A and B are shown apart, each in its own frame.
Chain A
Amino acid sequence: AQRVTQPEKLLSVFKGAPVELKCNYSYSGSPELFWYVQYSRQRLQLLLRHISRESIKGFTADLNKGETSFHLKKPFAQEEDSAMYYCALEGEAGGTSYGKLTFGQGTILTVHP
Chain B
Amino acid sequence: DADVTQTPRNRITKTGKRIMLECSQTKGHDRMYWYRQDPGLGLQLIYYSFDVKDINKGEISDGYSVSRQAQAKFSLSLESAIPNQTALYFCATSDLLGTGVLYFGPGTRLTVL
Contact present for A99 and B43 (CB under 8 Å): no
* Closest Cβ neighbor of B105 among chain A residues: A43
Contact call B45/A100, Cβ cutoff below 8 A: yes
B12 contacts A by Cβ under 8 Å? no
A17 interface residue, CB < 8 Å from B?
A: no
- Complex CA gap A105/B39 in Å reads 8
Q: Which residues of A contact B35 (CB under 8 A)?
A: 103
Question: How many residues of chain A get a CB closer than 8 Å to chain B's CBs?
Answer: 22
Contact check: which of B48, B50, B99, B102 meets A32 at CB < 8 Å? B99
Cβ-defined contact, B100 with A34, below 8 A: yes
Interface residues on B, range: 20 to 34
Which of A32, A49, A90, A99 has the largest number of chain B CB atoms within 10 A?
A99
A90 touches B99 (CB 8 A): yes
A43 smallest CB distance to B (angstroms): 5
The yes or no answer to B68 lying at the interface (CB within 8 A) is no
Q: A9-B40, A88-B100, A101-B100 are in contact. List 12 more A-B contacts (CB 8 A).
A: A4-B42, A32-B100, A43-B104, A43-B105, A44-B102, A86-B42, A99-B48, A99-B50, A100-B48, A103-B43, A103-B44, A104-B42
